[in-house]
């Protein structure tokens, strides 16, 4: 009788990414196809990241997943779409020494156990779906011997969460909207590697760890339905900004990079206000941080720090170099002293997280 006591596993790690030209709005909800291109910076993999182990064994009775040690349901369409897409591209696996032989068609009937961990507090309201789906799809692709390039893998991660496709690469990454209705060309590509512009330092100031009230998915759906500013943004504004941002990154032109990053964050939040009913992601502290950064940049004559905010009040601050980052951290702690009980500040190499 065939031995059933083998287990095959793969572990992968993916960092999260921060958009400097934002993705906001879908043209296809189930395939997760965006209405505009976006550009992001992938964080250092030692900091905000997800580690996922995927395992397969003939003794597993069903597909199961644990997030930070707690079992979660895989029933949602997004997980099912990713699993289906990866399974359909699986190839055979052979390990004669261990006596494991998996044929291409066997993958359909083998069940998976998935364990995923975020190395940052999930409650901190920092994006986790980007790193999570990038990591899951990448690990599964390896386990199932999928022989596709990263672009094709990114198109699968995209079906888990749009921004996840950008987390498959380090450095600066562009997600192309694509033209095909299948979504085949709605993939991410690397614009520049992590070593290209390594003076930049990213500081994340956690303004509030409350869960956001409007999910990105619901928020962007409402914006697409009701915001006229979003129509103008994706047709007229973003295409030009994408080209300018690509050039700024190529030339390491911080002045242009900061101007575009701040403007795009502000326009994204303006679109949220232009949505009916309006969506408020930033709070008073977020606004005070913007004010402060604008004044500092004005005083210096040339921008020293870029700011950007996602679907929440936390500030992502990009300093032009390490010296500026140190000054920034000091000023942040002075002007926004963390309340006593929550006084924790991890200084994590190049990325600092303030609570």
Return the sign of the alpha-carbon dihedral for residues 80, 152, 139, 112.
Answer: positive
Asked if residue 178 binds ligand 2P0 (CB under 6 A), the reply is no
Give the shortest CB-318-to-ligand 2P0 separation in angstroms: 14
Q: Are the beta carbons of 352 and 346 closer than 8 angstroms?
A: yes
Asked if residue 163 binds ligand 2P0 (CB under 6 A), the reply is yes
Region of 42-50, 59-67, 156-164, 318-326 interacting with ligand 2P0 (CB under 6 A): 156-164
Region of 19-27, 239-247, 317-325, 337-345 interacting with ligand 2P0 (CB under 6 A): 19-27
Give the shortest CB-17-to-ligand 2P0 separation in angstroms: 7
| Residue 226: other Cβ atoms inside 10 A | 14
Please, which of residues 202-221 interact with ligand 2P0 by CB under 6 A? 216-217
Q: Which of 15, 141, 162, 183 binds ligand 2P0 (CB under 6 A)?
A: 162
Q: Which of 157, 192, 310, 313 binds ligand 2P0 (CB under 6 A)?
A: 310
Buried b (16+ CB within 10 A) or exposed e, 78-99: bbebbbebbbebbeebeeeeee
Residue closer to ligand 2P0 by CB (options 116, 129) is: 129
Task: Report the C-alpha gap between 270 and 266 in whole angstroms.
Answer: 6
SS3 track for 225-288: HHCHHHHHHHHHHHHHHHHHHHHHHHHCCHHHHHHHHHHHHHHHHHHHHCCCCCCCCCCHHHHH
Asked if residue 128 binds ligand 2P0 (CB under 6 A), the reply is no
Q: Which of 14, 16, 32, 317 binds ligand 2P0 (CB under 6 A)?
A: 32
Give the shortest CB-170-to-ligand 2P0 separation in angstroms: 16
The three-class DSSP label of residue 18 is: strand
Q: Among 5, 28, 47, which residue's Cα sits nearest to residue 202?
A: 47
Asked if residue 38 binds ligand 2P0 (CB under 6 A), the reply is yes
Region of 54-62, 67-75, 155-163, 328-336 interacting with ligand 2P0 (CB under 6 A): 155-163
Asked if residue 23 binds ligand 2P0 (CB under 6 A), the reply is yes
Q: Which of 12, 14, 16, 19 binds ligand 2P0 (CB under 6 A)?
A: 19
Task: Report the C-alpha gap between 200 and 194 in whole angstroms.
Answer: 10
Residue closer to ligand 2P0 by CB (options 154, 324) is: 154
Give the shortest CB-54-to-ligand 2P0 separation in angstroms: 20
DSSP 8-state symbol, 40: E
Looking only at Cα atoms, what is the longest distance across the chain? 78
Residue closer to ligand 2P0 by CB (options 161, 261) is: 161
Give the shortest CB-98-to-ligand 2P0 separation in angstroms: 38
User: What mask of x and - would describe binding to ligand 2P0 in positions 58 to 77, judged by CB under 6 A?
Assistant: --------------------
Please, which of residues 316-345 interact with ligand 2P0 by CB under 6 A? none
Q: Are the beta carbons of 260 and 318 closer than 8 angstroms?
A: no
Q: Among 246, 215, 207, 168, which residue's Cα sits nearest to residue 26?
A: 215
Structure token pair of residue 41: 């910076």
| Residue 349: other Cβ atoms inside 10 A | 10
Residues at the contact surface with ligand 2P0, assessed by CB under 6 A: 19, 22-24, 32, 38, 129, 161-163, 216-217, 310-311
């Amino acid at each position: 009788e065939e031995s059933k006591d083998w287990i095959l596993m793969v572990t992968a790690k993916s960092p999260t990414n921060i958009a400097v030209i934002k993705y906001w709005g879908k043209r296809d909800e189930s395939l997760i196809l965006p209405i505009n291109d976006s550009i992001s910076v992938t964080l250092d993999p030692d900091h905000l990241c997800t580690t996922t182990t995927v395992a397969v064994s003939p003794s597993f009775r069903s597909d199961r997943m644990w997030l930070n040690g707690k079992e979660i349901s895989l029933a949602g369409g997004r997980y099912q779409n990713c699993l289906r897409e990866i399974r359909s591209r699986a190839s055979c696996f052979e390990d004669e020494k261990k006596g494991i032989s998996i044929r291409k068609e066997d993958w359909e009937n083998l069940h998976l156990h998935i364990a995923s961990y975020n190395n940052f507090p999930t409650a901190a309201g920092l994006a986790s779906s980007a790193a999570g789906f990038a990591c899951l799809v990448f690990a599964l692709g390896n386990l199932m011997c999928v022989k596709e390039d990263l672009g094709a893998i990114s198109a699968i991660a995209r079906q888990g969460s749009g921004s996840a496709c950008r987390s498959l690469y380090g450095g600066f990454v562009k997600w192309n909207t694509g033209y095909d209705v299948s979504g085949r060309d709605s993939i991410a590509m690397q614009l520049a590697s992590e070593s290209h512009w390594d003076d930049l330092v990213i500081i994340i100031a956690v303004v509030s760890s409350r869960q956001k009230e409007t999910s990105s998915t619901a928020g962007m759906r409402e914006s697409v339905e009701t915001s006229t500013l979003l129509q103008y943004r994706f047709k007229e504004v973003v295409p030009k900004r994408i080209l300018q941002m690509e050039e700024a990154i190529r030339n390491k032109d911080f002045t242009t990079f900061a101007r575009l990053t701040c403007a795009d964050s502000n326009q994204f939040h303006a679109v949220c206000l232009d949505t009916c009913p309006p969506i408020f992601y930033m709070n008073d502290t977020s606004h005070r941080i913007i004010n402060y950064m604008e004044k500092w940049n004005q005083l210096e004559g040339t921008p020293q720090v870029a700011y950007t905010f996602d679907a929440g009040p936390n500030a992502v601050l990009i300093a032009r170099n390490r010296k500026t980052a140190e000054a920034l951290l000091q000023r942040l702690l002075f002007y926004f002293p963390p309340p006593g009980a929550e006084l924790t500040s991890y200084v994590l190499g190049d990325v600092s997280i303030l609570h």
